[in-house]
Amino acid sequence: MSGIVTIGEALGLVLARRAGGFDLQSEAEMSFGGAESNVAIAAVRLGCEAAWIGRLGDDAIGNRIRRTLRAEQVQLHATIDPDAPTALMIKDRPRPGHSRVTYYRHGFAGSRITPADVPSDVVAGADVLHVTGISLALSDSAAETVLSAVRLAREHGVTVSFDVNHRSKLWSAEQAAPRYRELVALSDIVFAGDDEAAMIVGGGTPLEQARALQALGPTQVLIKRGEHGASGVDGELELEVPAYRVDVVDTVGAGDAFAAGYLVELTRGGTLEQRLLTAAACGACACRSDGDWESQPSWGDVQGLVEGSGDAVLR
Protein backbone atom coordinates (compact mmCIF):
# COMPACT_ATOMS: atom_id res chain seq x y z
CA MET A 1 0.00 0.00 0.00
CA SER A 2 1.11 3.51 -0.78
CA GLY A 3 -0.82 6.72 -1.13
CA ILE A 4 -3.33 8.03 1.42
CA VAL A 5 -4.79 5.90 4.23
CA THR A 6 -7.75 7.20 6.24
CA ILE A 7 -9.29 5.93 9.46
CA GLY A 8 -12.72 6.98 10.70
CA GLU A 9 -16.45 6.56 10.84
CA ALA A 10 -18.78 6.25 7.85
CA LEU A 11 -22.50 6.51 8.54
CA GLY A 12 -25.76 6.26 6.69
CA LEU A 13 -27.53 9.44 5.58
CA VAL A 14 -31.27 9.91 5.28
CA LEU A 15 -31.84 13.17 3.40
CA ALA A 16 -35.18 14.95 3.03
CA ARG A 17 -36.17 15.67 -0.55
CA ARG A 18 -38.27 18.71 0.28
CA ALA A 19 -38.86 21.20 3.07
CA GLY A 20 -41.20 20.52 5.92
CA GLY A 21 -39.25 18.32 8.32
CA PHE A 22 -39.71 14.59 8.85
CA ASP A 23 -42.37 15.30 11.44
CA LEU A 24 -44.52 16.57 8.55
CA GLN A 25 -43.33 14.79 5.38
CA SER A 26 -41.79 11.47 4.38
CA GLU A 27 -39.99 11.87 1.05
CA ALA A 28 -36.31 11.04 1.49
CA GLU A 29 -33.18 9.77 -0.23
CA MET A 30 -30.63 7.34 1.17
CA SER A 31 -26.87 7.80 0.99
CA PHE A 32 -23.92 7.90 3.39
CA GLY A 33 -21.28 10.27 4.64
CA GLY A 34 -18.09 10.44 6.63
CA ALA A 35 -15.18 12.89 6.50
CA GLU A 36 -12.49 10.25 6.21
CA SER A 37 -14.25 8.18 3.55
CA ASN A 38 -14.90 11.41 1.62
CA VAL A 39 -11.17 12.13 1.58
CA ALA A 40 -10.41 8.59 0.37
CA ILE A 41 -12.96 8.84 -2.45
CA ALA A 42 -11.69 12.27 -3.50
CA ALA A 43 -8.07 11.09 -3.47
CA VAL A 44 -8.88 8.19 -5.81
CA ARG A 45 -10.84 10.45 -8.14
CA LEU A 46 -7.79 12.71 -8.24
CA GLY A 47 -5.60 9.81 -9.31
CA CYS A 48 -4.04 8.69 -6.03
CA GLU A 49 -4.25 5.31 -4.32
CA ALA A 50 -6.30 5.53 -1.13
CA ALA A 51 -7.63 3.24 1.58
CA TRP A 52 -10.31 3.56 4.26
CA ILE A 53 -10.19 1.73 7.58
CA GLY A 54 -13.32 1.58 9.71
CA ARG A 55 -15.97 -0.49 11.47
CA LEU A 56 -19.47 -1.06 10.06
CA GLY A 57 -22.58 -2.90 11.14
CA ASP A 58 -23.72 -6.13 9.50
CA ASP A 59 -26.67 -4.37 7.90
CA ALA A 60 -27.96 -2.80 4.70
CA ILE A 61 -26.31 0.57 5.35
CA GLY A 62 -22.96 -1.05 6.04
CA ASN A 63 -23.32 -3.12 2.87
CA ARG A 64 -24.12 0.03 0.89
CA ILE A 65 -21.05 1.82 2.23
CA ARG A 66 -18.76 -1.10 1.43
CA ARG A 67 -20.21 -1.50 -2.05
CA THR A 68 -19.81 2.20 -2.86
CA LEU A 69 -16.26 2.44 -1.58
CA ARG A 70 -15.27 -0.57 -3.66
CA ALA A 71 -17.01 0.91 -6.71
CA GLU A 72 -15.00 4.12 -6.14
CA GLN A 73 -11.83 1.96 -6.09
CA VAL A 74 -11.01 2.78 -2.49
CA GLN A 75 -9.05 -0.01 -0.81
CA LEU A 76 -11.36 -1.20 1.94
CA HIS A 77 -10.39 -2.49 5.38
CA ALA A 78 -13.72 -2.74 7.18
CA THR A 79 -14.38 -4.71 10.34
CA ILE A 80 -17.95 -6.01 10.43
CA ASP A 81 -19.55 -5.60 13.86
CA PRO A 82 -22.25 -8.27 14.46
CA ASP A 83 -23.50 -6.57 17.62
CA ALA A 84 -24.01 -2.93 16.63
CA PRO A 85 -25.62 -1.27 13.60
CA THR A 86 -23.96 1.24 11.31
CA ALA A 87 -24.36 4.81 12.56
CA LEU A 88 -26.92 7.12 10.99
CA MET A 89 -27.51 10.80 10.40
CA ILE A 90 -30.86 12.24 9.44
CA LYS A 91 -30.91 15.56 7.61
CA ASP A 92 -34.22 17.31 7.04
CA ARG A 93 -35.33 20.87 6.29
CA PRO A 94 -37.89 22.30 8.71
CA ARG A 95 -38.18 25.29 6.40
CA PRO A 96 -36.66 26.30 3.02
CA GLY A 97 -32.98 27.20 3.30
CA HIS A 98 -32.58 25.69 6.77
CA SER A 99 -31.18 22.21 7.44
CA ARG A 100 -31.40 20.17 10.64
CA VAL A 101 -29.11 17.20 11.30
CA THR A 102 -29.74 14.51 13.92
CA TYR A 103 -27.04 11.90 14.65
CA TYR A 104 -27.35 8.34 15.91
CA ARG A 105 -23.73 7.32 16.45
CA HIS A 106 -22.75 6.78 20.11
CA GLY A 107 -22.58 3.04 20.73
CA PHE A 108 -23.00 2.27 17.03
CA ALA A 109 -20.46 0.30 14.99
CA GLY A 110 -18.14 3.14 13.99
CA SER A 111 -17.68 4.28 17.57
CA ARG A 112 -16.70 0.74 18.61
CA ILE A 113 -13.55 0.61 16.47
CA THR A 114 -10.45 -0.61 18.33
CA PRO A 115 -6.70 -0.63 17.56
CA ALA A 116 -7.07 -4.32 16.62
CA ASP A 117 -9.27 -3.27 13.68
CA VAL A 118 -6.37 -1.38 12.07
CA PRO A 119 -4.04 -3.42 9.79
CA SER A 120 -0.60 -2.27 10.89
CA ASP A 121 0.99 -3.06 7.51
CA VAL A 122 -1.50 -0.79 5.73
CA VAL A 123 -0.65 2.16 7.98
CA ALA A 124 3.09 1.46 7.92
CA GLY A 125 3.10 1.25 4.11
CA ALA A 126 1.25 4.50 3.46
CA ASP A 127 2.63 7.79 2.21
CA VAL A 128 0.10 9.69 4.33
CA LEU A 129 -2.17 8.71 7.24
CA HIS A 130 -5.16 11.06 7.45
CA VAL A 131 -7.36 11.29 10.55
CA THR A 132 -9.87 13.77 11.97
CA GLY A 133 -11.04 15.09 15.31
CA ILE A 134 -14.38 13.37 14.85
CA SER A 135 -12.89 10.06 15.98
CA LEU A 136 -11.60 11.66 19.17
CA ALA A 137 -15.17 12.59 20.09
CA LEU A 138 -16.93 9.32 19.26
CA SER A 139 -15.64 7.13 22.10
CA ASP A 140 -12.58 6.29 24.14
CA SER A 141 -11.85 3.29 21.91
CA ALA A 142 -12.16 5.36 18.70
CA ALA A 143 -9.81 7.99 20.12
CA GLU A 144 -7.29 5.36 21.20
CA THR A 145 -7.51 3.71 17.77
CA VAL A 146 -6.59 6.93 16.01
CA LEU A 147 -3.80 7.78 18.45
CA SER A 148 -2.39 4.25 18.18
CA ALA A 149 -2.40 4.45 14.37
CA VAL A 150 -0.75 7.87 14.46
CA ARG A 151 2.03 6.60 16.73
CA LEU A 152 2.54 3.61 14.42
CA ALA A 153 2.72 5.91 11.39
CA ARG A 154 5.32 8.09 13.07
CA GLU A 155 7.42 5.04 13.93
CA HIS A 156 7.51 4.12 10.24
CA GLY A 157 8.15 7.61 8.89
CA VAL A 158 4.63 7.98 7.46
CA THR A 159 3.37 11.57 7.14
CA VAL A 160 0.50 12.20 9.58
CA SER A 161 -2.33 14.50 8.48
CA PHE A 162 -4.95 15.77 10.95
CA ASP A 163 -8.11 17.69 10.08
CA VAL A 164 -9.66 19.17 13.23
CA ASN A 165 -13.23 18.82 11.88
CA HIS A 166 -14.84 19.92 15.15
CA ARG A 167 -18.40 18.67 15.71
CA SER A 168 -20.13 20.74 18.38
CA LYS A 169 -22.96 18.19 18.66
CA LEU A 170 -20.46 15.57 19.81
CA TRP A 171 -18.60 17.62 22.43
CA SER A 172 -17.94 21.13 23.62
CA ALA A 173 -15.00 23.31 22.65
CA GLU A 174 -13.73 23.10 26.24
CA GLN A 175 -13.73 19.30 26.12
CA ALA A 176 -12.27 19.12 22.63
CA ALA A 177 -9.43 21.65 22.68
CA PRO A 178 -6.97 19.69 24.89
CA ARG A 179 -7.47 16.53 22.83
CA TYR A 180 -7.00 18.46 19.60
CA ARG A 181 -3.76 19.97 20.89
CA GLU A 182 -2.52 16.46 21.71
CA LEU A 183 -3.11 15.27 18.16
CA VAL A 184 -1.79 18.48 16.58
CA ALA A 185 1.50 17.85 18.39
CA LEU A 186 1.72 14.35 16.85
CA SER A 187 0.94 15.48 13.31
CA ASP A 188 3.01 16.68 10.37
CA ILE A 189 0.10 18.42 8.61
CA VAL A 190 -2.88 20.13 10.25
CA PHE A 191 -6.06 21.42 8.59
CA ALA A 192 -8.32 23.76 10.55
CA GLY A 193 -10.98 26.35 9.98
CA ASP A 194 -10.14 29.75 11.45
CA ASP A 195 -12.79 29.15 14.13
CA GLU A 196 -11.26 25.76 14.95
CA ALA A 197 -7.79 27.30 15.13
CA ALA A 198 -9.14 29.92 17.53
CA MET A 199 -10.47 27.13 19.74
CA ILE A 200 -6.99 25.60 19.97
CA VAL A 201 -4.55 28.55 19.93
CA GLY A 202 -6.69 31.68 20.14
CA GLY A 203 -7.34 34.52 17.71
CA GLY A 204 -5.18 36.47 15.29
CA THR A 205 -4.82 36.59 11.53
CA PRO A 206 -5.01 33.25 9.71
CA LEU A 207 -1.24 33.20 9.24
CA GLU A 208 -0.72 34.03 12.92
CA GLN A 209 -3.02 31.17 13.83
CA ALA A 210 -1.12 28.87 11.47
CA ARG A 211 2.18 29.81 13.11
CA ALA A 212 0.73 29.24 16.57
CA LEU A 213 -0.46 25.77 15.56
CA GLN A 214 2.89 25.08 13.91
CA ALA A 215 4.61 25.90 17.20
CA LEU A 216 2.84 22.89 18.73
CA GLY A 217 4.67 20.48 16.41
CA PRO A 218 3.47 20.16 12.78
CA THR A 219 5.54 21.42 9.85
CA GLN A 220 2.57 22.29 7.65
CA VAL A 221 -0.62 24.07 8.79
CA LEU A 222 -3.51 25.01 6.52
CA ILE A 223 -6.26 27.40 7.62
CA LYS A 224 -9.47 26.93 5.62
CA ARG A 225 -11.46 30.16 5.27
CA GLY A 226 -14.30 29.17 2.94
CA GLU A 227 -15.25 31.93 0.51
CA HIS A 228 -12.28 33.97 1.76
CA GLY A 229 -9.70 31.44 0.54
CA ALA A 230 -7.00 29.64 2.50
CA SER A 231 -3.76 30.38 4.31
CA GLY A 232 -0.87 28.02 4.86
CA VAL A 233 2.61 27.62 6.25
CA ASP A 234 5.20 24.98 5.43
CA GLY A 235 8.38 25.40 7.42
CA GLU A 236 9.40 29.01 6.85
CA LEU A 237 7.12 29.45 3.83
CA GLU A 238 3.85 31.37 4.08
CA LEU A 239 1.13 31.70 1.46
CA GLU A 240 -2.46 32.88 1.15
CA VAL A 241 -4.69 32.00 -1.83
CA PRO A 242 -8.15 33.30 -2.76
CA ALA A 243 -11.20 31.10 -3.15
CA TYR A 244 -12.48 30.10 -6.58
CA ARG A 245 -15.87 31.66 -7.27
CA VAL A 246 -18.63 29.14 -7.96
CA ASP A 247 -22.40 28.93 -7.64
CA VAL A 248 -22.75 27.19 -4.28
CA VAL A 249 -25.30 24.38 -4.04
CA ASP A 250 -24.07 22.62 -0.87
CA THR A 251 -20.88 23.14 1.15
CA VAL A 252 -20.95 19.67 2.76
CA GLY A 253 -17.79 17.79 1.82
CA ALA A 254 -15.90 20.88 0.66
CA GLY A 255 -13.40 20.72 3.51
CA ASP A 256 -12.75 17.05 2.77
CA ALA A 257 -12.18 17.85 -0.91
CA PHE A 258 -9.77 20.61 0.13
CA ALA A 259 -7.77 18.20 2.29
CA ALA A 260 -7.71 15.53 -0.44
CA GLY A 261 -6.51 17.99 -3.08
CA TYR A 262 -3.74 19.20 -0.82
CA LEU A 263 -2.59 15.71 0.14
CA VAL A 264 -2.66 14.37 -3.43
CA GLU A 265 -0.48 17.27 -4.59
CA LEU A 266 1.84 16.59 -1.63
CA THR A 267 2.30 12.95 -2.68
CA ARG A 268 3.22 14.23 -6.14
CA GLY A 269 5.87 16.60 -4.84
CA GLY A 270 3.90 19.79 -5.45
CA THR A 271 5.01 23.13 -4.04
CA LEU A 272 3.05 24.85 -1.28
CA GLU A 273 1.45 27.06 -3.93
CA GLN A 274 0.42 24.08 -6.05
CA ARG A 275 -0.93 22.26 -3.02
CA LEU A 276 -2.98 25.20 -1.79
CA LEU A 277 -4.35 26.22 -5.18
CA THR A 278 -5.37 22.67 -6.02
CA ALA A 279 -6.94 22.29 -2.57
CA ALA A 280 -8.92 25.50 -3.05
CA ALA A 281 -10.09 24.37 -6.49
CA CYS A 282 -11.17 20.97 -5.11
CA GLY A 283 -13.10 22.59 -2.29
CA ALA A 284 -14.86 24.93 -4.73
CA CYS A 285 -15.79 22.05 -7.05
CA ALA A 286 -17.36 20.15 -4.16
CA CYS A 287 -19.67 23.08 -3.46
CA ARG A 288 -21.28 22.91 -6.90
CA SER A 289 -23.46 19.85 -6.21
CA ASP A 290 -25.23 17.97 -3.42
CA GLY A 291 -23.91 15.06 -1.45
CA ASP A 292 -21.10 14.18 0.96
CA TRP A 293 -19.09 11.86 -1.26
CA GLU A 294 -21.02 12.36 -4.49
CA SER A 295 -19.73 15.94 -4.84
CA GLN A 296 -16.05 15.01 -4.52
CA PRO A 297 -14.28 16.21 -7.72
CA SER A 298 -12.22 14.42 -10.35
CA TRP A 299 -9.14 15.93 -11.99
CA GLY A 300 -11.34 16.78 -14.95
CA ASP A 301 -13.70 18.76 -12.72
CA VAL A 302 -10.82 20.64 -11.14
CA GLN A 303 -9.08 21.29 -14.44
CA GLY A 304 -12.27 22.71 -15.91
CA LEU A 305 -12.66 25.12 -13.01
CA VAL A 306 -9.01 26.15 -13.11
CA GLU A 307 -8.97 26.73 -16.87
CA GLY A 308 -12.13 28.79 -16.61
CA SER A 309 -10.50 30.99 -13.99
CA GLY A 310 -7.34 31.56 -16.05
CA ASP A 311 -5.05 30.06 -13.39
CA ALA A 312 -2.60 27.21 -13.96
CA VAL A 313 -2.55 24.73 -11.10
CA LEU A 314 -2.53 21.17 -12.39
CA ARG A 315 0.38 19.50 -14.12
Question: Going by C-beta distance under 8 Å and a sequence separation of 6 or more, which residues neighbour residue 207?
Answer: 223, 231, 233, 238, 240
The helix (H) or strand (E) run that includes residue 220 is strand 220-224
Secondary structure class of 98 (helix, strand, coil): strand
Q: Is 256 a catalytic residue?
A: yes
Give dist(CA 264, CA 115) in Å, integer.
26
DSSP state of 66: H
Q: How would you class 94 by CB atoms within 10 Å of its CB: exposed for 0-12, middle for 13-18, buried for 19 or more?
A: middle
Choice among 92, 188, 256, 292 that is catalytic? 256
Kindly provide the b/e burial profile for residues 39-57, where b requires at least 16 CB atoms within 10 angstroms of the residue's own CB. Answer: bbbbbbbbebbbbbbbbbb
Ramachandran category for residue 65: left, alpha or beta (phi over 0 → left; psi -120 to 50 → alpha)? alpha
Longest CA–CA span in the chain (Å) reads 55
Q: Which residues participate in catalysis according to the annotation?
A: 256
